[in-house]
Amino acid sequence: MKPRGPLMIEHRLIERMLEIVRREISSMKDTRDADPVFIDAVVDFIRTYADRTHHGKEEDILFKELGGKEMSASDQSLMEELVEEHKFGRKTVKDLVDAKDDYVSGNRDAIARIIENLETLARFYPEHIRKEDKVFFPSTEKLFSQEEQDAMLEAFWEFDRKMIHEKYTAVVQQLNG
């Protein structure tokens, strides 16, 4: 398997979550009501899986390794764009959390901001994924030898092994105050 393999598999799960989000958006528009538990689950999924786990592998491993390679100007520009998009996703999730908190505090008008942020995420991720799957990954993987690709794949697996401990250490710390 090439290093892009696990990243693309992760993309498929993110896409499945986005389908669920789209269905929930439709329900929210019909009922003008939001389920805070659902929103918390979406936020946890995006923050832990899409951002920390998936984007973590991209930023902390793939992009760092690419930093030592002679990339084309277009690949360099696209990598910078992808990093900015990761930041945009984080900001949108923060805005979603803020809207959910307002809603839970009794501001029923916050439903519009919840829907807006969920719609933004549902529009944003498919195009971001397309850029990575169809353009960036195929273009940049040829910069790595087979040995480098194998090492990167191993680094991805190790990154994933550590994530479960990081996630639940944070949960315990949060609950402990």
Query: Is the confidence at residue 1, as pLDDT, over 90?
Result: no
The length of the chain is 177
Distance from the first to the final alpha carbon of the chain:
42
The pLDDT score that the predictor gives to residue 175 is 83
Sign of the four-CA dihedral 151, 156, 161, 166: positive
CA distance 50 to 54: 5
Q: Which two tokens stand for residue 9?
A: 């598999």
Mean pLDDT of 24-33: 96
Q: DSSP secondary-structure letter at 62?
A: I
Please state the domain extents for the chain: 4-176
Grade residue 143 by pLDDT with cuts at 50, 70 and 90: very high
Residues 13, 49: contact at Cβ < 8 Å? yes
Residues 137, 4: contact at Cβ < 8 Å? yes
Q: For the chain, what percent of residues have pLDDT higher than 70?
A: 100
Residues 79, 66: contact at Cβ < 8 Å? yes
Mean pLDDT of 84-95: 98
CA distance 58 to 7: 8
The pLDDT score that the predictor gives to residue 164 is 80
Q: What are the tens digits of pLDDT across the range 48-81?
A: 999 999 999 999 999 999 999 999 999 999 999 9
Tell me the CATH number of domain 4-176, given options 1.10.1740.110, 1.20.120.520, 3.30.70.20, 1.10.3720.10: 1.20.120.520
Residues 51, 87: contact at Cβ < 8 Å? no
The pLDDT score that the predictor gives to residue 162 is 87
